[in-house]
Amino acid sequence: MFRFFLILLLCGTTAGLFGQGNSSKYHRSEAQRGDGVYSLLRRFALDKYSCNFEAFYKLNKMRKNAALTAGKVYNLPILIYVFDGKTIRSSIGIEDWDRALNIQKYNEAMLEGRLRQESFKTDKILWVPYHQLNCPEADLDIPPPVLVNPEEGKAGDRKFPIFGPAYAYTPLESSRLKGKVFYISSGHGGVDPGAMATRGGRTICEDEYAYDVSLRLCRQLIAHGATTYMVVRDDDDGIRSGEYLECDKDEELWGGVRMVLQQKARLFQRSNIINELYEKHRLQGVKDQLLIEIHIDSRSRSERTDVFFYYHSSSDDGKELAEQLHQTLKAKYKQYRSGGYYHGTVSSRDLHMLRESKPNSVYVELANIRNYSDQQRVALESNRQLLANWLFEGITK
């Protein structure tokens, strides 16, 4: 039986939680803004072992896939032992030399990564990952969230299946956006079609039209060398032609993540995925990362709107990006609309995806789906392409 030593000054958890017969102390860590369970455990190199996730939920009395609260302190599946100054094996009561060596390497890695302030040999506090005592073999083959080119075909042949057969081949037009990272997140999807309306006796759904514009924008960014993520994904749709885009519920999130039913949790799923990717790229030295949220509004049938933009009040960069897009659209309307008028607006709003996402971000509302004239802006394929073109021009100035 393992011998558990307690550190009185460290906060712990309920005794015997995992049926090991002794009370234990666990390392605790504060969730950062945008953290999900996966990103928090990955920070401490705990993400390859399923028992660590199970332990985390039990330790914190949480249901699976629950969102974390920024600033809240959580128990991690890292047991705290007193190092006896001799060996790791004698400190925790094991005979396995290889396991003890793995625990030593883990503590050294945490020190090197500045997650520990001192060596366990100095402060006599030994961290023992839960999986080392319960499931030492990695059993989760979770692909790294960041790939060299996330939408690239396996053969590097510039074919991107997400765009559909007709548009899969995307030649490289330039490399002017190389080194820049974009996250394109279209509104709603999966169980939630977003705003709905009728057109020609048929139902049209916000998520389908926002997704099509998003795909077209994503394709242009990739064509100019950008690393671009389609956060919401539907492998069946691709870029579509025609006026009526069929509503469905099979969209997923980046990494094959199924959207949950509860709206708040769905939003956290998105922001967590984006933030994990953002942190990975930030550590790689990438400084230019943008999130573009693309939606379609729902208002009174009689209310006609132009494309308008939101930013978060705490983000000067977000405001600048929104104003840059606004000026681009204003110029395009002046050029192409009879009379040249444009009534699109820029304003701040405390929306989840603007508040909780780490990249500089802007929220785009393309139209009022219930107004017939506004519907023209997204229903006509040529207009969807123009919107993508103009958004591309605005964010890459």
Give per-residue pLDDT as tens, 98-156: 999 999 999 999 998 889 999 999 999 999 999 999 988 877 654 443 343 455 554 45
Q: Which domain holds residue 77?
A: 25-134
**Count of H helices and E strands in the chain?**
12, 13
User: Has residue 155 been placed in a domain?
Assistant: no
**Of 99, 134, 169, which residue sits at a domain end?**
134
User: Has residue 307 been placed in a domain?
Assistant: yes
Q: What is the pTM of this model?
A: 0.65
- pLDDT recorded at residue 17: 45
Return all residues near 270 (Cβ < 8 A) that are at least 6 apart. Answer: 185, 231, 232, 253, 353
- 169 and 111, same structural domain? no
Pairing type for strands 181-186 and 289-297 reads: parallel
Mean pLDDT to the nearest integer, 366-393: 95
Candidates 294, 306, 327, 325; CA nearest to 395 is 325
- 284 and 178, same structural domain? yes
User: Has residue 11 been placed in a domain?
Assistant: no
- 248 and 311, same structural domain? yes
Backbone region of residue 93 per phi and psi (left: phi > 0; alpha: psi in -120 to 50; beta: other values): left
- 337 and 226, same structural domain? yes
User: Has residue 149 been placed in a domain?
Assistant: no
The CATH number covering residue 253 comes to: 3.40.630.40
User: Has residue 156 been placed in a domain?
Assistant: no
- pLDDT recorded at residue 279: 87
Cα dihedral across residues 7, 120, 28, 2: positive or negative: negative
Return all residues near 234 (Cβ < 8 A) that are at least 6 apart. Answer: 189, 211, 248, 250, 251, 252
pLDDT at residue 190 is higher than 90: no
- pLDDT recorded at residue 230: 95
CA angle 124–128–129, rounded 5-degree value: 150
- Helices 381-395 and 206-223: crossing angle in degrees, nearest 10, is 50
Q: How far is CA 395 from the centre of its chain?
A: 20
- 283 and 234, same structural domain? yes
- 128 and 191, same structural domain? no
Low-confidence winner among 258-262, 317-321, 356-360 (lowest mean pLDDT) = 258-262
User: Has residue 12 been placed in a domain?
Assistant: no
- 217 and 337, same structural domain? yes
- Range from 30-44, 151-165, 382-396 that averages highest in pLDDT: 382-396
Q: What is the rounded distance in angstroms from the CA atom of residue 223 to the CA atom of residue 221?
A: 5
User: Has residue 6 been placed in a domain?
Assistant: no
State how many domains the chain has. Answer: 2
pLDDT at residue 174 is higher than 70: yes
- pLDDT classification of 290: cutoffs 50, 70, 90: very high
- pLDDT classification of 31: cutoffs 50, 70, 90: confident
Neighbours of 142 (CB within 10 A): 11
**Of 134, 152, 186, which residue sits at a domain end?**
134
- 348 and 270, same structural domain? yes
Whether the CB-CB separation of 270 and 72 falls below 8 Å is answered with no
- pLDDT classification of 6: cutoffs 50, 70, 90: very low
Q: What is the rounded distance in angstroms from the CA atom of residue 62 to the CA atom of residue 105?
A: 30
- pLDDT recorded at residue 155: 45
**Of 117, 134, 151, which residue sits at a domain end?**
134
Candidates 206, 207, 221, 205; CA nearest to 163 is 221
Beta sheet of 25-30, edge-to-edge order: 25-30, 73-82, 125-129
Average pLDDT, the chain: 86
Taking the C-alpha atoms of 183, 187, 189 and 193 in order, what is their torsion angle to the nearest 10 degrees?
A: -170
Beta sheet of 346-348, edge-to-edge order: 227-230, 181-186, 289-297, 360-368, 308-311, 346-348
Q: What is the rounded distance in angstroms from the CA atom of residue 128 to the CA atom of residue 133?
A: 8
- 177 and 108, same structural domain? no
- 117 and 29, same structural domain? yes
User: Has residue 5 been placed in a domain?
Assistant: no
| 215 sits in which H/E element | helix 206-223
- 319 and 362, same structural domain? yes
Mean pLDDT to the nearest integer, 85-96: 94
- 184 and 266, same structural domain? yes
- Range from 27-31, 187-191, 322-326 that averages highest in pLDDT: 322-326
